[in-house]
Structure 1
């Protein structure tokens, strides 16, 4: 029996649900029950009748699942999968910003840790942010942790005054304008698809800017037969699955999140077998963070 079969047998035996983020390795996405963006997976875990959830992603994602499903057992196959961008947002620095801007609403990207969500008025995803920000009853916004996504939102919403926390995603931040220009010269007919976590110079070259799922859906529905894709390379698995006859060009500077790639089939097997690396969170922080997630639903209509 191979490792995949053993994982599937264990999953059935323990009545578990395996969810995987779109940046995971191909073999993890292939074996997962549900693949998607981080908050989508947390909602699916909550809606499932399974009480044991294996979350293949980085820690803040598994925390979000636990915020929504406090009575479920949430496991993560590797306990070293932190998110560098989420870890840049520090409570004491956010409190300083709140003191400086007492009338501002704190809006945190879903890619943030529990303690930051607990101090936020509302959380947003990259796809829901504009709608939510339009519905917030304040013209002043403190946005964290990603300055690039925050800058993109500020461009779309000139009526709002943004204070941006200086965090960023190292995987998206390292891509520079010149590299995209070279690809554009080489593949002039291919639309450029860019995640808003990229810097402004790169975003300005994009034919389409969107969340991970939005980029995948755009490539599937577009009549173009090829794309220059400027986001984490895990998305290529789903893009090729939905559009096997299309061409997807990565950046020469590899866009690979090392923490997302820490989870292997062996990690997943051990996690299921031993039920290790359970997510535990402080209940007071969970309740406060849940309010920010609840507001995300209320303000997105």
Structure 2
């Protein structure tokens, strides 16, 4: 079983090299949902939870942000740094619409909407809180809302709901077909039979690791 990712498939190492030629000297910030080859061509990685801090840690006026255009656009609203975008997107978060969320508000007065920053800008404008899965968990714990609409991948939102049983969660349920290809049987078989090994060339692995380690060194 080969599980993919629309974000990881949106860009290649060759694409990054061409961008670096077009924007010489501009640091490349890469979301962790990318291939090792893309990370190897990048200066630093980021997650949805630390993207703003990573971008601002570089001390520059502009950065190239890969590959999620929507996460990049959201980061641009949180900082004065110019963000050069790539036109990648998460096929799950891209399907949410502002009209859908307005419908939830109309049917459930007072409901709170929390959204993942991989969603399109008009969706984020409808949200009361925008953040990573961990950020959503903390927000719900602290705010203790009565009802929440969670705008993220349906299974990922289970993690937030499990942490806050006092809150009623309404979920427009978009599932990731790629993540759903991974199940307990797959994991059991891989561990038991030691199969489906992924091999990465040492030169790529080492450079990709450096980009990840630079991210881990950023104080959040």
Normalised by the shorter chain, which TM-score bucket?
over 0.9
Question: Take 1:264 and 1:291, find their aligned partners in 2: how far apart are those partners?
Answer: 30
Secondary structure in structure 1 of the residue aligned to 2:111: coil
The corresponding residue for 1:64 is none
Displacement of 1:90 after TM fit? 1.8
CA contact (8 A) 1:127 1:210 kept: yes
Question: Take 2:195 and 2:141, find their aligned partners in 1: how far apart are those partners?
Answer: 37
Secondary structure in structure 1 of the residue aligned to 2:29: strand
Tell me whether 210-219 or 164-173 shows the greater mean CA deviation. Answer: 210-219
Long gaps (5+) in structure 1: 1-78
Q: What is the Cα-based RMSD across aligned positions, in Å?
A: 1.4
CA contact (8 A) 1:122 1:296 kept: yes
Question: Take 1:132 and 1:100, find their aligned partners in 2: how far apart are those partners?
Answer: 22
Displacement of 1:274 after TM fit? 1.1
1:116 is the counterpart of 2:35? no
Question: Take 1:277 and 1:90, find their aligned partners in 2: how far apart are those partners?
Answer: 22
**TM-score (ref. length: structure 1):** 0.70
CA contact (8 A) 2:144 2:167 kept: no
The corresponding residue for 2:211 is 292
Displacement of 1:181 after TM fit? 0.7
Secondary structure in structure 2 of the residue aligned to 1:193: strand
Distance of aligned partners of 1:275 and 1:297 in 2 relative to their CA distance in 1, 3 Å threshold: same
From 107, 116, 140, give the equivalent of 2:29: 107
The corresponding residue for 1:190 is 111
Displacement of 1:197 after TM fit? 0.1
1:86 is the counterpart of 2:5? no
Distance of aligned partners of 1:282 and 1:209 in 2 relative to their CA distance in 1, 3 Å threshold: same
Displacement of 1:186 after TM fit? 1.2
Secondary structure in structure 2 of the residue aligned to 1:83: coil
- In the TM superposition, what are the counterparts of 1:215-254 in structure 2 within 5 Å? 215-251=136-172, 254=173
Secondary structure in structure 1 of the residue aligned to 2:196: coil
**TM-score (ref. length: structure 2):** 0.94
From 179, 198, 209, give the equivalent of 1:279: 198
Question: Take 1:267 and 1:290, find their aligned partners in 2: how far apart are those partners?
Answer: 26
Long gaps (5+) in structure 2: none
CA contact (8 A) 2:97 2:122 kept: yes
From 178, 181, 206, give the equivalent of 2:99: 178
CA contact (8 A) 2:32 2:47 kept: yes
